[in-house]
Structure 1
Amino acid sequence: MAYEHLRLDREEPINLRHPRRGGGGFTPQDPRAYGAALGTKFQAARGRITDPDQADIGGYDDRKLIKIQLRHGESLPPDSFQAIPGVEIVSQEEKTVVLAFATDEGLDEFERRLATLARDGNVTRKDLLYAIEDFDHWTPEDRTGNALREQGFPEETPFTLDVELWPQERQDKRQAMVRAFVDLLQELGIKKLDELKLPSLVKLRVRCDQNQADQLLRHRDVRTVDLPPRLGVSVQLLMTDINQFPVVDPPPADAPAIAVLDSGLTSGHPLLAAAAGDAQGYLKPHRSANDAEPWHGTFVGGLALYGDVHNAIQQRQFVPQLRLFSGKVFEHDGQDQTEFVEKAVEEAVRDLHGQYGCKVFNLSYGDLNKVYDGRHVRGLAYTLDRLTRELGVLFVVPAGNLQLNQLPQDARGQYPHYLFEEHARLLDPATALNALTVGGISLFEATRDAQNHPNTIEDHILARANQPFPLTRRGPSINGAIKPDVVEHAGNIALMLTGGRPRHTGLGVVSLNGGFATHGFAFKEDIGTSYAAPLVAHKAARLLAEVPDASPSLLRALIGAHARWPQACEALLNPGNNAEGRDKLLRLVGYGRVDDAALFRSLDHTVTLLAEERVGNDQHHFFELPVPDSFWANGRRTREITVALAYSPEVRTTRLDYRRTKLWFNLVVADSLDDVTRAFQRNREEGMGEHSNGRWLPNDTRKNGTLQVSRWRFKQALANGHKVFVVVTRQDSPWSDGRDGDEPYAVAVVLADREQANAQLYAQVRAALQARAQARARARIGGRG
């Protein structure tokens, strides 16, 4: 069953000030003890490498493959290890994992140096040994690719797999390795479908069963085993005849409105006409919104109106749930625009908001000449921040895209690392703190040619499903604020095998074709975060049907509370679950992709609580969460509490401290509300910090933005019947003149108990809130008496 979200009332405010501190890194205290401990680890790893039950099988020569785990934050070049005779670096799989081929003599030399360090406290090139955390071997789990890990082996056998071997720069070694591996395939009865031999990429496509695949996962020369590309945009889908669809009925007259600020709209498109309202041009001299073929605005408009157009085509049904408005604020013809886009945007927003009550505006725009430099927020971003606060509207904007010519020469080998370079930072207006900024992830994996020739290696895709879009841009915004906020499908890139030219046919986002009248087809595909943004804007606008009075801050809080990191992104960017990996995830995918399973309506096992309040400077607001006893009952299982806070402060571009007002929240566990209010007093904290067990993101990580989200996982009940509280704090910037009064904000809390069979969490939370309201009513009556 699906239910309306529940309202959460706050308790009483109290004054507060709340500082935090951080701390340092690794330095070996006792070199002899360090050498002895590392020597023990090395001997254990060497035992695993030679143990018949664990050791690798095969290999084109007799060297052993050893995994060297570096210490976090270690900057030593991996090739430094080749100073040890008999050791050849194969690959650095992530910042802290180096793979090397080592002869028996090389392994002996490693052991000798560690023994010398343990005995004397000193050794030649001790910096190499100090950089090491541990040793291990490359396991079948390490060789399992992301798609295979998530989906498992196909049920139908035999099945197709892509097997990548370790890259070999020398042609003679590469050829010897491939010959030996092909011989092994024949011995195992595995059919080779195709092969690719390049200095940085050696890959074979094979057909096998699971027993044969298990052998491949233990082979020394295998880097990864994964499923071949799947999914893609077929040309048949793009050529679908819209005359086969039912007639599109107009949305209800009271349906929420969404406005697309773009290059105009082909409002006569058969799938738009019924839902399209006013379409105006806001450029001077004022031209019609339809002067030129507005393919970009129509493409974006289709996604804003329908969300997943690809799915709608497959379902053969288009049902608009929103009213669509359009404001032409830029040209998409490659020509210079003489008028500031900020002026056109402001005029359009004031007009469409005033005339039609539009509260959600999608602006799929990015200024390639304004790559964020880490300093002030200016230009269009500032305009959006200001209008958000003044008018109470929500802007959804893309993170921006790299251009295809900005891909590195070895894009395949450098993905996703090149996305963290300086030139890949956000474009204006993606830095806007009060807007929802959307980055990109990939969904499809098979180009048009790969779909037509499934048994050959036609192209090499850069991203697997749900990994970062290869052209997306990264944050953070000013003062380290998390941006993008969330991510959505933006397409993918493949490199052609001959020449390495990038292409994306079959890998893009599908939407409506603004030029259908002259080009014949109702649909087209394209790539870019410009198309990820309207997918999120669509969800934000649909929320208004369920929560009509929601402020932009509440819409952002709801979106953030229901976002999660895609597993494929976690596996790619944070396989060791460490602080560095977490930082990369936040810079590239923000809080994650929005899961709409319980976004619009609460479910029996997933309950969303909403609150909108106003808080004064140097005040603290308290919320006691209505967590029922059943949430903690019945032993160990995963329960989750997610908290999201959003607000839209006044901003000033002449200050490095861009926000006038700073708000943040803490989740605390205590016996009672009195204990919490006593602990949080002005200028002091009496031993009650934020609950850290099972916490996703700490306060220092999330508090610099105006959308702040964290999640707590509980495996068992809290001790001593403790209760859970959310505490919201305000502290203004030094430049504030104190004239703002109380600052509005929104909180969304999600309680999830998905592992308990027949959970009735919603009914129990609602009953607890009703009982609390009745108790407060009785207290008020008693107070008046």
Structure 2
Amino acid sequence: MEETFPHLNIQREAPVNEKRPGNGPRSSIPDDVPSHGRGLLEKLTNATQEAGEDVGGFDERKLFRFTVQKGFNPDDLRKISPEIEFVSQEDETVVIGFATNAAMAQFEARLTSMASGGYVTNKEVIYALQSVDGWSPVNRKGWALKQHGFPEKEDFLLDVEIWPLEDKPDARQQAWNKFESWLSEHGIEKLDQVKKPELTLYRVRCTATQAEYLLHHRDVRSIDLPPSFALERSVVFQDVQQFPELQAPSAQAPGVVVLDSGLADGHPLLKAAVGKTASFLPGEGPHDENGHGTHVAGLALYGDFEKHLRAGAFAPTLRLYSGRILDKNDENTTGFVENHIEAAVRYFVSEHGCKVFNLSFGDANKPYKGGHLKGLSVTLDILSRELDVLFVVSSGNHQINIESPDGLEWRDQYPSYLLNENWRIIEPAPALNALTVGSLARHDRTYNSQQYSHDPAEIPIAQPGQPSPFTRSGHSVDGAIKPELVAHGGNWAINARANYALLDRVAGLGVISTGQKFSSGHPFCVDTGTSMAAPQVAHLAASIFHEHPDATANFIRAQLCLNAAIPQASKHLFEQNKALSKGCGYGAVDEIALKRSLENAVTLITESKIENKRHHFYEIPVPSDFTSSGKKRCREIAVALAYTPPIRSTRIKYRATRIDFKLVAARDLDHVTTMFNKATKKNDYQSIKELSGATIGQMARSKGTVQADFWQFNQFNSNSPLRNKKLFVVVTRNDFPWGESLCDSEESYSLLVSLRDKDNLFTQLYTQIKAQLDIRLPVRVRT
């Protein structure tokens, strides 16, 4: 067995430069300024009438929808009138605000002056305005409601979100009280609620007439149908008695929590590892009545369950916990799943010290197509930061409908349809501070094709190592990479003898794990979906705690993404269309050097805190063995960074701060700090170029809160920067102005760097890097 070593700590250099200020976006001047004013005047008249049709409201102001140029600062609305209050930024060009009648009169007077060619103060703000409208019933309809309409029942359930009023606790409480009184007055039954500064949701029972009233309520942000969780299963018959009775993991074993439909905790391959099962679903016990939770649990506990099954060896190294949040139909109709999940997480953190939570479900009624994030994503992002826990969530499965491929199209049009709108990630996959996992195919032979080896009738859609035909992908808010990781989740096939019927359930192309019906002779079952991929990553996340018991959630996220790689079979697809790569994120986790370093795969790690508008500098030792010449071979530098920012759902950028990194080559530390020095004269300021050859690129990776990139080299010539210069990672923090009050004075982050020369088994990278770090350590000054 190859010798392994603990990862090496790296310390930052003494300079902590202040970030060079950037130039903010400027409003473009209309070609015809008076005409721009007249157009806005007409729209303002219509908008005032439309806003006047709203009902309810906790005060007398009207609600307006301002369409603006990209980069507009929503707080600048107050320059039109101090009586216009910013409420929410719904996307890059839509800002919502409350305004009094006096404010609108002021606005109208300014537009009238502009329309006549007169002088207008703060004219840049009005230049940036493109339209003024009301927040209409159409704007208030969520995706599922737009797609399906109201249910054809006398009464039905709806989820109602009202404007959060994050900065106004008194007004927020007033809005809650007034809205609940309004519901009661109109006979609308309130069933449950989520009340937070960042998010306010009500689940109500109402009629179609009452729903129309809700669509006109001033304080309502959006209305949608409740979640819909759809899952598929088939059962595999095997004899579980062949396995010896399992030994429990050690008392110090890390825990992994499965939040799902409960657990069949008597299963022979699970019971020894079960730490605690609990139900957070009112009126229900912790036992699994559906089977999905038990299936997911086997993967969370063992990771690659199929590998263990083939080897005939199961030895749990993790402690398994189960929190039931879904009923026997894999639904949650008793209240908001956000509340149940929060209760479960707080319980398992406080009572059992758990840090990794798997959520293998998604709301097909809430695909993410831009704009602000929804309730569960917001909840996970808040809890991630507050409790320093890691949520691993599935990206979601495509739901077959009239817009899906048909027959042979499933094969012939693969993988292009993965880019369609119907394959966008669903709640809670967009959560920025969680790890989202998509699905890869593992098998390409169905049960029938194995039994009838000469019959070509059943045709797999994806090849092993390619994205599953059902896997969903992002991006998330502000273009963040989603999913970040992929794991095996199954494949689909078509049957040429049955008019190319889709085999999506019982073909034998899914993921095998523990089954709920073990007592009746069905200890294993096979299922397909991203639900099966996520727990395999949760298993790896929890396993890192064996080697790093005090690791932060940031460290775990960065470590997993640092050790990810795109499967070769997927790379072939991406050569045809690079846009397909978003379905795989950073790739599948390679376990070889995940927990410990090797001589030819060395990881440098650090945890630090950074102030706003500052740079941190890290010199990365590059040994001569790494850049040695000779026969071509692949060498790689990988860098990963993770942080957990506070969020605000009323801002389109969502995260209050940005922390990112650049990998640069420079003559020495003085040179690189000068490059990033804000005091450098503009004319002398050097364009800060990152080391060329990044796989992802700084712009794409920096949009997320876990960022990874990879630089590969086949050979080095005499002019190579890595032979002639030093290598530095520069970490930068830059808060959004509106986010400065939400952030800590020093925000935490994890940074990891890896140097790999996997084709050279005789290299001594670890020995050489450690020697260089040992020499530098005594003379480095920390600030």
In the alignment, which residue of structure 1 is the partner of 2:728? 725
Aligned-partner residue type, residue 466 of structure 2: Q
Partner of 2:430: 431
- Separation (CA, whole Å) in 2 of partners of 1:332 and 1:692: 53
1:327 maps to what in 2? Answer: 323
8 A contact 1:440–1:468 mirrored in 2: yes
What's 2:618 paired with? 623
Amino acid at match of 2:456: I
TM-score, normalised on structure 1? 0.69
The residue aligned with 1:261 is 259
- Distance in 1, matches of 2:499 and 2:679, equals 64
Alpha-carbon distance between aligned partners in 1 of 2:479 and 2:332, rounded to the nearest angstrom: 33
Amino acid in structure 2 at the alignment position of 1:299: H
Say if 1:461 and 1:492, in contact at 8 Å, map to a contact too: yes
- Distance, in Å, in 2 between the alignment partners of 1:624 and 1:767 is 14
Over residues 590-647 of structure 1, what are the superposed CA-to-partner deviations in whole Å (9 max), with x where a residue is unaligned? 1111111111211110011111111000000111112222222234543211001111
Contact 2:246 2:315 in 1 (8 A): yes
Report the counterpart of residue 769 of structure 1 in structure 2: 773
Change over 3 Å in CA distance of 1:277–1:753 after alignment to 2: same
Q: What secondary structure sits across from 1:676 in the alignment?
A: helix
Could you give the per-residue CA deviations for residues 311-359 of structure 1, whole angstroms, max 9, x where no partner exists? 1111111010100001001224155612100000000000001100100
Query: 1:259·1:362 contact (CA, 8 Å) conserved in 2?
Result: yes
What is the rounded CA distance, in whole Å, between the counterparts of 2:559 and 2:469 in structure 1?
Answer: 28
CA contact (8 A) 2:296 2:535 kept: yes
**How far does residue 491 in structure 1 lie from its aligned partner after superposition?**
0.3
**Structure 1 counterpart of 2:668, from 669, 672, 678:** 672
- Contact conserved, 1:617 with 1:732, CA < 8 A, in 2? yes
In the TM superposition, what whole-angstrom CA distance separates every residue of 1:177-207 from its partner, at most 9, and x where no partner exists?
xxxxxxxxxxxxxxxxxxxxxxxxxxxxxxx
Decide whether the 8 Å contact of 1:296 with 1:332 is kept in 2.
no
Gaps of 5+ in 1: 22-234, 576-580
Quote the residue 2:9 is aligned against. Answer: 7
CA distance in 1, matches of 2:558, 2:698: 16
Q: Which residue of 2 aligns with 1:502?
A: 502
Residue 285 of structure 2, aligned match among 285, 288, 294: 288
Aligned partners of 2:327, 2:438: CA distance in 1, in Å? 23
2:598 — aligned with what? Answer: 603
Deviation of the 1:757 alpha carbon:
4.4
1:385 aligns with 2:381: yes
Change (3 A) 1:238 1:604: farther
Matched, 1:553 2:554: yes
Deviations 1:206-236 (A, max 9, x none): xxxxxxxxxxxxxxxxxxxxxxxxxxxxx9x
After superposition, residues 290-689 of structure 1 pair within 5 angstroms as: 290=287, 293-333=289-329, 337-405=333-401, 407-409=404-406, 410-497=409-496, 498-503=498-503, 504=505, 505-518=507-520, 520-575=521-576, 581-585=577-581, 587-635=582-630, 636-682=632-678, 686-689=685-688
One-letter amino acid of the structure 1 residue matched with residue 613 of structure 2:
D
- Could you list the per-position Cα deviations for residues 385-430 of structure 1 after superposition, in whole angstroms to 9, with x for gaps in the alignment? 0000000000000000012346311222221111111121110000
Per-residue deviation at 1:565?
1.1
The whole-number CA distance in structure 2 between the counterparts of 1:645 and 1:336 is 35
Contact 2:621 2:772 in 1 (8 A): yes
Structure 1 match to 2:194: none
Whether contact under 8 Å (1:265, 1:294) holds in the other structure is no
Distance 1:757 1:600, change over 3 A: closer
Contact (CA 8 Å) 2:259, 2:358: kept in 1 or not?
yes
Query: What is the Cα-based RMSD across aligned positions, in Å?
Result: 2.0
Deviation string for 1:75-123 (max 9, x for gaps)?
xxxxxxxxxxxxxxxxxxxxxxxxxxxxxxxxxxxxxxxxxxxxxxxxx
Match of 1:699 in 2: 698
The 8 Å contact of residues 485 and 589 in structure 2, kept in 1 or not, is answered as yes
1:404–1:502 contact (8 Å) kept in structure 2: no
What secondary structure does 2:341 align onto?
A: helix
Contact 1:266 1:294 in 2 (8 A): no
Rounded Cα–Cα distance in structure 2 between residues aligned with 1:769 and 1:510: 45
The 1:564–1:334 alpha-carbon spacing in structure 2 relative to 1, beyond 3 Å, is closer
SS at match of 1:361: strand
- Cross-structure match for 2:755: 751
Of 639-648 and 692-701, the range deviating more from structure 2: 692-701
Q: Is residue 18–residue 683 contact of structure 1 (8 Å, CA) maintained in 2?
A: no
Q: Distance in 1 between matches of 2:751 and 2:11?
A: 11
User: Which whole-Å CA distance do the structure 1 matches of 2:331 and 2:634 have between them?
Assistant: 55
Residue 36 of structure 2: aligned partner: none
TM-score by length of 2: 0.69
Change over 3 Å in CA distance of 1:632–1:688 after alignment to 2: farther
- Report the AA paired with residue 405 of structure 2: P
1:723 partner amino acid:
K
Aligned residue in 2 for 1:248? 246
Query: What's the CA shift for 1:734?
Result: 2.1
Alignment of structure 1 residues 112-261 onto 2, 5 Å = 238-261=236-259
State the Cα distance separating 1:693 from its structure 2 match: 2.6
Q: After superposition, what is the alpha-carbon deviation per residue over 1:552-588, rounded to whole angstroms, capped at 9, x for unaligned? A: 111010111111111111111324xxxxx33330x21
> Percent identity at matched positions?
43
Secondary structure of the 1:502 match is strand
Q: Quote the Cα distance in structure 2 between the aligned partners of 1:18 and 1:638.
A: 39
Are 2:249 and 2:317, in contact at CA under 8 Å, matched by a contact in 1?
A: yes
Distance 1:728 1:768 in 2: 22
Q: How much does 1:656 deviate? A: 0.7
> 8 Å contact 1:294–1:515 — kept in the other structure?
no
Specify the code of the residue in structure 2 equivalent to 1:267: D
Task: Report if aligned partners of 1:606, 1:762 keep a CA contact under 8 Å in 2.
Answer: yes
Q: What residue is the counterpart of 1:180 in the other structure?
A: none
Letter in 2 for 1:721: N
Which residue does 2:716 correspond to in 1?
716
**What displacement does 1:280 show?**
0.2
Deviation of 1:683 (Å): 7.2
Q: C-alpha separation between the residues in 2 aligned to 1:610 and 1:20?
A: 34
Q: CA deviation at 1:19?
A: 6.1
SS of the residue aligned with 2:271?
coil
Mapped contact 1:637–1:716 kept (Cα < 8 A): no
Q: Give 1:695 shift.
A: 1.9
Give the distance between the partners of 1:247 and 1:733, measured in 2 at CA: 56
Aligned-residue offset at 1:688: 5.0
Deviation at 1:6, TM superposition (A): 1.2
Unpaired segments ≥5 residues, structure 2 = 25-233
1:62 paired residue number: none
Any conservation in 1 of the 2:289–2:328 contact (CA below 8 Å)? Answer: no
Cα 1:752–1:334 shift into 2, 3 Å: closer
Distance in 1 (CA, whole Å) between partners of 2:473 and 2:761 is 40
2:641/2:751 contact within 8 Å kept:
yes
1:539 deviates by 0.3
> Do the aligned partners of residues 439 and 335 (structure 1) sit closer, same or farther apart at CA in structure 2, a change above 3 Å counting?
closer
Structure 1's 728 and 335: CA in aligned 2 closer, same or farther, altered over 3 A? Answer: closer
Shift of 1:10: 1.1
CA distance in 1, matches of 2:5, 2:238: 36
